[in-house]
Amino acid sequence: MAATILVTGFGPFPGAPFNPTGALVEKLARLRRPILADVTIVPHIFRTSYAVVDDEFPKLIAKHKPDALLMFGLAPRAKAVRIETRARNALTSFPDVSGHSLNRRSIVGGGPPALLMPTQTGHLFAAARKARIPVLVSRDAGRYLCNYLCWRATEAAAQNGPRFAAFVHVPLPSRTVRKSGKRGVLTLDDLSRAAGQFLVALATATQRTPRLGRKGTVVAQS
């Protein structure tokens, strides 16, 4: 069954002049696997700006009508890949790449504390293990642009949009080739291998699942 998957990453942001997610998205756009033969991959790299996400994300959804979203973001201090499972109704005052913040504490005033993301968590976790990458399942996507996109993506899925919306935080990779036997250091090749497995897992789930309206599920404050 034909499917469309929107794959996104972010550019640099304050404190992170190098963001590997752009390179991951470019690699996934060129990935060739038998399971992807009938899959249209739409790559997109957001400038790390609230205004850009608000402007470009709805247009991407309207134009391509993706069956699934595979989104990547950078967690500079992380040691493992993190599969996010919920979007928090929370914002930080830390500025975006334009020097702006939203000057409020929540994404939606009076809204629920969090939304469960329609993520194929088990499939993605298995994909990371298959790629021999350290992986964690996370319930906290932070309060910055990554979490903000998680929230907007979950909203879109709830409005009869994508069936699945998966967000993966990746650590900052080593810029050098890993020495033999050295553990705990991930390279861009490691992350690319895992990202390819994530895409295959999501494509498989998408092709096996009929399109139905989905709603982000409200979860209690923790």
Rounded-to-10 torsion of CA 144, 149, 154, 157: 180
Q: Could you list the pLDDT tens digit for every one of the 222 residues in the chain?
A: 789 999 999 999 999 999 999 999 999 999 999 989 999 999 999 999 999 999 999 999 999 999 999 999 999 999 999 999 999 999 999 999 999 999 999 999 999 999 999 999 999 999 999 999 999 999 999 999 999 999 999 999 999 899 999 999 999 998 655 444 445 679 999 999 999 999 999 999 998 876 544 444 555 444
Q: Where are the beta strands (DSSP E) in the chain?
A: 3-10, 39-46, 68-74, 81-84, 86-88, 114-116, 135-138, 164-170, 217-219
122 contacts: CB under 8 Å, gap ≥ 6: none
Fold for the domain defined by 3-219: Aminopeptidase (3.40.630)
What one-character DSSP code corresponds to residue 174? Answer: B
Secondary structure of 9-23 as H, E, C letters: EECCECCECCCCHHH
Torsions phi, psi of 106, nearest 5? Answer: -130, 155
Residue 148: CA count within 13 A, CB half-sphere: 24
Give the count of beta carbons closer than 10 Å to the beta carbon of residue 35. 12
